[in-house]
Amino acid sequence: MDFEPVHRRSRRQLWLLIAVFFAPLATAFLLYYGFEDWRPSRSTNQGELLQPARALPVFELSTPEGTTLTNESLRGKWNLVYIGDGQCGQRCREALVLMRQSRLALNEDLPRVQRIFLTTGHCCDQHYLQSTHPGLIIAQSGTTGQPLLHAFPGAPAAEPEAGYIYIVDPLGNLMMRYSPEAPHKALLEDLEKLLKLSHIG
């Protein structure tokens, strides 16, 4: 009876071990680079990440109470910003309610977030805003605020019906936005992640 040479069996076993070791790596490589539908998402945020984050221009806006909103007013806190007409139509009201409810749901992290409504005109429906959204910071953009409005992509100055909610970080950088079509829980879930990971604000 002929026996297979020992060195041939050893070589075959070696190649088998190599195949067992490298096959999963080769499969993963093929799925990742060969089939985009299989590729995992690079980020877990649900809002639209604005890359790169952009520092807001220097601004100084007046409020209905006679105070001033400046860049320093945004520093040290996470800021939810909505831009729209001061009479606050349907999309405006939906956005302000979502901002309020998302902030309230943060519980102990609630003080780390503030809400800002930048009005583009007709300021303001004070009865609605004061009774329904206590603590909301309202500022009138006016003529001097135009450079600030143009820093927000999709703001009413460029897209009147866009109605985005924006997130500005505690360093004053615009970093994310949410369209009216974004899931309502998206804002809260992203805020929770940001606050958990953040060492500022």
Residues in the annotated binding site for Cu cation: 88, 92
Binding residues: 88, 92
CA distances from 14 to 7, 11, 22 (A): 10, 5, 12
Contact status, residue 140 vs residue 119, Cβ threshold 8 Å? yes
Q: Measured between alpha carbons, how far is 71 from 73 in angstroms, rounded to an integer? A: 5
Q: Measured between alpha carbons, how far is 3 from 1 in angstroms, rounded to an integer? A: 6
Q: Measured between alpha carbons, how far is 28 from 25 in angstroms, rounded to an integer? A: 5
Q: CB-based burial of residue 85 (10 Å sphere; 0-12 exposed, 13-18 middle, 19+ buried)? A: middle
**How far does the chain reach from its first CA to its final CA, in angstroms?**
80
- The SS3 call for residue 166 is strand
Q: Measured between alpha carbons, how far is 58 from 50 in angstroms, rounded to an integer? A: 19
What's the token pair of residue 21?
């070791």
